[in-house]
Amino acid sequence: MADKLVTIAQFANFSEASLAKQVLADFGIESVLSGQHAVDLYHIPSITADLQVFKSQAEKALEILESNKKQEQ
C-alpha cells in the first residue's frame, strides 16, 4: 500500500516554506509544497503553503523542524 502525504506545517509566505523544505531535504526527507503560488499571488492570511511529507516520515520531519526552530532562536 502506498504511503500517503500528510501536511506537517503551513506557512504564510513561500520563503519560509522553501527554507523548511530545504531543511528536511538536508536530512534526507522528501517533501512537497502545495499552494505556494497562491501564497505569492494573493497575500491573504487564510491562504497558506502546506508542507507535506510521507506519513511514515511525519514524526521525524516534525522533530527536525522543531529542532531547527529552536536553533534559530
**Domain regions of the chain by residue span:** 5-65
For residue range 40-70, what is the model confidence (pLDDT) as tens digits? 566 666 678 899 999 999 999 999 999 988 8
Name the pTM for this structure: 0.81
Amino acid at 20: A
**CATH match of 5-65 with 3.40.190:** no
Read off the pLDDT of residues 4-20 as tens digits, 9 standing for 90 and up. Answer: 999 999 988 888 899 99
Whose CA is closest to 34, among 8, 57, 56? 8
**In the chain, how many H helices and how many E strands?**
3, 3
State the cell numbers at 47. 491562504
